[in-house]
Amino acid sequence: MRARILVELRYARVALGFLVCLAVLELVVGVPAPRSPLITRGCAPDACRTADIGAGAVPSSVSPPIATRTPGPAPTQAPASAPPVTPASALLIRSVNDSLFDSYDQLMNDPGTQAMLRKHGTPIVRIPIRDALSDAEALRAFTAVRNSGAAPLAIVHGACVPDTYTVDSHWLGLLARVFTSGPVYVEYGNEEDLSCAGGIRGAYVYTASWNAVVPRLKARFPNDRFIGPVNFESNPAYVATFVRDARPQPDFISWHEYVCHRSQPDSYCLEHIARWTNHVDDTNAAVRAAVGHTVPIMITEWNLGGTDPRYGDAAFIQAWTRAALSQWASLVGSGVYAAFLYSCESHPDFELITSRNTLTAQGESFFL
């Protein structure tokens, strides 16, 4: 019995020594010791990948699916949609128009007015480029917007002038000299559905001009963001036709919103604000039906209406402006990226800043 035990002990020592040698070999040389298939199949995923390299498994740098996990159904791909509206849009609804009727424009010439816009964090200023301005005057107007801390939205010619590219390319070249970084927005035309691009064929006329000119402008100014069709009022069918046929598609779509005339009662002017929701929803639906997704919206002019004594009625115009801003804020989630009140200054009938650089009644409720 003792001899048998001694033999067994001797074998045990040999076996133990063999195992120790294997362990040392693995640690020093990096050659893996043999493993039981049972242990391999029961190991953690990372250990299994290490053990199976060389046997057709995925290298450890790539994570294969765990065999015991039952995959669920493949996620449904969301349809193409407009870029998400950023939280900054809550401020972007307080963008403004510069009147810029001539070279005597207040914003263009008054550092105090520029400082007021900067103080209130005005995000974008919409600039009409007037052909009567000299290059020096246009550069001064663009510089005033830059000094106000705002991004520019320039209105260039659209379908209603000959040789549109030459004229627009010149103005945008001047704008690029002032705004060398940051966003630059460009509207192609302004309310041309009231002139050469109006009527039953208006959307086709406007789009044909867009397709002939905007690709060339975009090639020269690749970082500019182009906007159309700049309708004088909500017109979902016109916008949808334009977006469907435009090449390239616009970065934003735009139209204008004025709610009432001076002859209409206060109640009508206040109630009409709610119709902006219908206009946005109807336009989104028409555009989605045309191209499968929506396009971000800019309302590049909005206000009560034209000449109206109620701009001087502080109680009414402030209540109306607060309600309007609240409505625009509620539509940010529906794709309204920015909204521009018309007009900031230098307007004989309505403005936010007086010639003395004080706020009008409407300005007091508009600016943050």
**pLDDT of 3 over the 70 cut:** no
Statement: the pTM of the whole predicted model exceeds 0.85: no
Interval 335-356 mean pLDDT: 95
Q: Where are the domains of the chain?
A: 2-52, 89-366
* Residues contacting 235, CB < 8 A, separation 6+: 193, 255
In this structure, are residues 77 and 85 in contact, taking their beta carbons and an 8 Å threshold? Answer: no
Question: Could you tell me which of 267, 244, 335 has the C-alpha nearest to residue 297?
Answer: 335
Distances (CA, A) of 16 to 4, 12, 19, 26, 29: 18, 6, 5, 16, 20
Q: pLDDT tens digit string along 272-322?
A: 999 999 999 999 999 999 999 999 999 999 999 999 999 999 999 999 999
**pLDDT of 39 over the 50 cut:** no
Q: How confident is the model at residue 226 (pLDDT cuts 50, 70, 90)?
A: very high
Q: How confident is the model at residue 333 (pLDDT cuts 50, 70, 90)?
A: very high
Question: Could you tell me which of 291, 220, 285, 304 has the C-alpha nearest to residue 250?
Answer: 291
* Residues contacting 221, CB < 8 A, separation 6+: 172, 176, 184, 186
Q: How confident is the model at residue 240 (pLDDT cuts 50, 70, 90)?
A: very high
Task: Give the class (CATH, top level) of 89-366.
Answer: alpha beta
For the chain, the average pLDDT equals: 82
Interval 48-54 mean pLDDT: 28
Separation between Cα atoms, residue 86 and residue 335, nearest integer Å: 10
Q: pLDDT tens digit string along 77-120?
A: 333 344 444 446 678 999 999 999 999 999 999 999 999 999 99
Q: What is the pLDDT of residue 326?
A: 96
The proportion of the chain whose per-residue pLDDT surpasses 70, expressed as a percent, equals: 76
Residue 355 DSSP label: T
Q: What is the pLDDT of residue 165?
A: 98
* Residue type, position 56, single letter: G
